[in-house]
Structure 1
Amino acid sequence: MNTFIAIVIIFGLLVFIHEWGHLIFAKRAGILCREFAIGFGPKIFSFKRNETTYTIRLLPLGGFVRMAGEDPEMIQIKPGYEVGLKFNIRDQVTDIIVNNKSKHPDCKVIQVEKIDLEDDLFVQGYVPDEEGLVTFDVHEQANYIYDEEATQIAPRDRQFPSKTIPQRAMAIFAGPMMNFLLAVIILAAYAMMAGMPVDEARVGDVTDDGVAIQAGLEEGDRIVSIDGENVSTWEEMTGIIQGSANEPLLFEVERGNETFEVEMVPDERLGPEDEVQGVVGIYPPTEFSILGSIAFGFTTTWDYTVLIVEALGMLVTGQFSLDHLAGPVGIYSYTGEVAAMGFFVLMQWAAILSVNLGIINLLPLPALDGGRLMFIGLEAVRGKPVDPQKEGLVHFIGFALLMLLMLVVTWNDINKFFL
């Protein structure tokens, strides 16, 4: 249950921040955002505020922001259609009742001859018992009413394609950008609460069951040398320890004004690549600083970014196989293991996942944010946009391939963890 709660909180936060980035910058550009959704599939909960419907959907596999102009309008009114109109005090159309007009006895019924809800915003047609064509102005925030559900119209200047290239690019890039920013905030908060690691050959704390506590080491002890080799940094010290599993090492330790020697035999454990490493059961020293914590957030986010990009490069070059990838099942399992290690480790894991989500979405692949940015960049070079139908087909094929990859990775996860 703890794993499930951790997954819901972490993934909910990552997806929310990502989509919130899209939403905020799209709205700043003046784009009508019809829906902000967490998850896919049937709606579980929804409410509307400031033109946007906020929804939680059944399948927690991501989210989306539905911007006007990205997809064809679901409701189209053609000449000959009979619709009902409602007006404001300025005689502007505020509601266009597409069907079920009998439920709106106060509406004015009109047989449409001509309608423009993108540029000039008017509807023209014939009203029963009145002669000649009648033209009505349509309010820029008028609604279609279809099956008693309101959908706001999207004038051309509120649609995604009408915006400048920088505005559209920023609305797309903002999602991954917010994931990187979230990682910075999480890591900075971690450093403020748990302290920042200090690169000194000093004992920050000792584990309850390691050889260090058995040898009498205490918090604050400084390691001067190991087997006669002077060490001054945490990296130098741990490098010797990790390479000496089950081998006796003589430590020269400084405690206050005293110096003494103690022998320890590092226990062995498996490292990240399943290699054997030596451990003695000590934590690195830490310090607390607000400015330092902020700097730690940025530098560690950058380090995570470099590591993930390098791993993706090895995947492309064949140094990694698909077996190294983890899908939803694998991430669920890993999150359970991390959650058992404590809250601070879980914070670091959440930051890694956030960076990973940002990087993956920036890959120049169809259906991802990077693929959409690629088409916007191509438009900037060509001086004209790619045909929307062709771009849509490319994104559809890309999405199908991504789903196929997800199935393969999930099957590998199931084999690794359950079979």
Structure 2
Amino acid sequence: METVIAFILIFGSLVFFHELGHFIFAKRAGIMVREFAIGMGPKIFGMTKGETIYTLRLLPIGGYVRMAGEDTDTVELQPGYRVALVTNEDNLVEKIVLNQKAQYQNVVFLEVERADLERELWIEGYDEEDKLVRFDVSRTAMIVENGTEQIIAPYDRQFNSKSVGARAMAIFAGPLFNFILAFFIFMVIGLIQGVPVDEPIIGSVSEDKPASVAGLQDGDIVTKINGVAISTWEELSQQIQTNPEKAITLDVAREDGTTATLEVTPTAVEQTDGTKYGQIGIMRSMDSNPLKAVVYGAEETYNMTVLIGKMLGKLVTGQFSIDDLSGPVGIYKATETVVTFGLYNVLYWAAMLSVNLGIMNLLPLPALDGGRLLFFAFEAVRGKPMDRQKEGMVHFVGIVLLMILMVVVTWNDIQRFFF
């Protein structure tokens, strides 16, 4: 149950912040957001607030922010349509009712002749007396079809009406918010747990471990190993790990001003590949300075970005194969393991996944945010947008290929963990 809760919270947070980035910058640009969805597939829950419906969907494989004008969400009233117009006291159309009898006051039945629901906002047609009439349409008018209402989207509220920069920012903001989320998670870890100190200062000594048996104490500063001076925790850690079951000599300076020379033999810990590393049972010293926690958040986000970037590079060069990738099943199983190591490890895992999601979405591949940004770059260079149908087809092919990749990766995960 802990794994399920952790997985839902982590996944939900990553997707929520990603989509929140799209949502906030779309709103800032004046773009109408029709839906803010967590998950994909059938709707489990929906709540409408303002002009946006907020939904929770069945499949935990992502989410989306549906902006007006991005797809075929506009209604075209073709000549001959029979509609009912609900008007207000100023004779301005507030509702356009399709395919049903209208149960409203101030209703005019009309056979549509022409309509413009994007730019000039009017509708023209023949009334019940076969007289040609014209009505102005409110910017917040609703299209009502089979009991479902959807607000119209004037052209200046549509995605494609905005500048290249505004559209690019609305798309880039999703991955950006994943990096911001990772930064805040790392910063919280630094605030609560403390920031690892670079100096070779022992924060704590575990009981009945080689370090405790040898006489090491909390607060000891290791100055030399086997007579060689050291100045960083990494140097201390490397010497311990590379000398399993071999005695090493540590010169330490103590908090009371005294010094000591101690001999300790690291315990050998075997890894999955059969190799061994040394361990003596000490923890690194932590600094609880809030300013350092902020710097730590930024540094860890950067370091994680570089690490994942290098791994992607190995995938491109063939050093990794598709069999090494993990999908939702693999992430769930990894979460199951991480949960057993405590809250801080879960937080670190969530931050790493957030950086990973941000990077993956920035890859210049069709259907991903990076692919869309690439089209915006072409538009900026050419001075005019790419053909919408061709761009849509490229993204559609990209979505199909991503779905195939997800199926393959998920199948590999299932075989790896359950067979």
Q: What TM-score do the two structures reach when normalised by structure 1?
A: 0.96
Aligned to 1:167: 166
Q: Distance in 1 between matches of 2:272 and 2:379?
A: 43
Instruction: Answer whether contact 2:74 2:152 (CA < 8 A) is retained.
Output: no
Aligned to 2:418: 418
2:231 match: secondary structure: coil
Q: Distance in 1 between matches of 2:51 and 2:198?
A: 51
- In the TM superposition, 1:306-317 aligns within 5 A as 306-317=306-317
Instruction: Answer whether contact 2:74 2:153 (CA < 8 A) is retained.
Output: no
Distance 1:389 1:339, change over 3 A: same
- Which 5+ residue runs of structure 1 have no aligned equivalent? none
Q: Which amino acid aligns with 1:218?
A: Q
Instruction: Answer whether contact 2:87 2:106 (CA < 8 A) is retained.
Output: no
Q: Distance in 2 between matches of 1:270 and 1:95?
A: 71
Q: CA deviation at 1:222?
A: 1.3
Aligned to 2:138: 139
- In the TM superposition, 1:372-411 aligns within 5 A as 372-411=372-411
Q: Distance in 2 between matches of 1:84 and 1:264?
A: 88
Q: CA deviation at 1:258?
A: 2.3
Q: Distance in 1 between matches of 2:2 and 2:33?
A: 35
Q: Which amino acid aligns with 1:253?
A: V
Aligned to 2:122: 122
Aligned to 1:196: 195
- In the TM superposition, 1:101-250 aligns within 5 A as 101-104=101-104, 107-129=107-129, 132-208=131-207, 210-250=209-249
Distance 1:264 1:324, change over 3 A: farther
Distance 1:272 1:224, change over 3 A: farther
1:71 match: secondary structure: coil
Q: How many corresponding residue pairs?
A: 418
Instruction: Answer whether contact 2:86 2:104 (CA < 8 A) is retained.
Output: no
1:253 match: secondary structure: strand
Deviations 1:2-48 (Å, cap 9, x if unpaired)?
01100100110110000000000001111111000000111111111
Distance 1:169 1:208, change over 3 A: farther
Q: Distance in 2 between matches of 1:82 and 1:139?
A: 19
Aligned to 1:70: 70
Please say which of residues 298-307 and 226-235 is displaced more in the overlay: 226-235
1:257 match: secondary structure: coil
- Which 5+ residue runs of structure 2 have no aligned equivalent? none
Does residue 264 of the first structure (1) align with residue 240 of the second (2)?
Answer: no
Does residue 23 of the first structure (1) align with residue 23 of the second (2)?
Answer: yes
- In the TM superposition, 1:313-324 aligns within 5 A as 313-324=313-324
Q: CA deviation at 1:366?
A: 0.5
Please say which of residues 402-411 and 191-200 is displaced more in the overlay: 402-411
1:3 match: secondary structure: helix
Distance 1:106 1:136, change over 3 A: closer
Does residue 294 of the first structure (1) align with residue 287 of the second (2)?
Answer: no
Q: Which amino acid aligns with 1:111?
A: E
1:318 match: secondary structure: coil
Q: Distance in 2 between matches of 1:135 and 1:284?
A: 77
Instruction: Answer whether contact 2:88 2:106 (CA < 8 A) is retained.
Output: no
Q: Which amino acid aligns with 1:401?
A: L
Distance 1:273 1:348, change over 3 A: farther
Deviations 1:302-356 (Å, cap 9, x if unpaired)?
0100010011001101112223222111111111111111111111111111100
Distance 1:308 1:91, change over 3 A: same
Q: What TM-score do the two structures reach when normalised by structure 2?
A: 0.96
1:250 match: secondary structure: strand
Does residue 252 of the first structure (1) align with residue 251 of the second (2)?
Answer: yes
1:101 match: secondary structure: coil
Aligned to 1:83: 83
Q: CA deviation at 1:206?
A: 2.7
2:202 match: secondary structure: coil
Q: Distance in 2 between matches of 1:272 and 1:295?
A: 34
Please say which of residues 280-289 and 165-174 is displaced more in the overlay: 280-289
Aligned to 1:47: 47
Deviations 1:36-93 (Å, cap 9, x if unpaired)?
0000111111111121110111111110000011101263321101101111232211
Deviations 1:200-244 (Å, cap 9, x if unpaired)?
111112345632233332221111212112212101111111111
Runs of 4 or more, structure 1, over 6 Å off, are: 271-274
Identity %: 50
Q: CA deviation at 1:145?
A: 0.4
Q: CA deviation at 1:388?
A: 1.1
Does residue 283 of the first structure (1) align with residue 283 of the second (2)?
Answer: yes
Aligned to 2:338: 338
Q: Distance in 1 between matches of 2:401 and 2:275?
A: 34
Please say which of residues 162-171 and 329-338 is displaced more in the overlay: 329-338
Q: Which amino acid aligns with 1:211?
A: P
CA RMSD of aligned residues (A): 1.6
Distance 1:301 1:243, change over 3 A: same
Q: Distance in 2 between matches of 1:203 and 1:44?
A: 51
Q: Which amino acid aligns with 1:214?
A: V
Deviations 1:129-188 (Å, cap 9, x if unpaired)?
2x5311000001111001111111111111111100000000000000000011111111
Deviations 1:371-410 (Å, cap 9, x if unpaired)?
0001111111111111111111111111111111112222
Please say which of residues 24-33 and 403-412 is displaced more in the overlay: 403-412
Instruction: Answer whether contact 2:140 2:151 (CA < 8 A) is retained.
Output: yes
Aligned to 1:350: 350
Distance 1:29 1:275, change over 3 A: farther
1:31 match: secondary structure: coil
Q: Which amino acid aligns with 1:60?
A: P
Distance 1:275 1:15, change over 3 A: farther
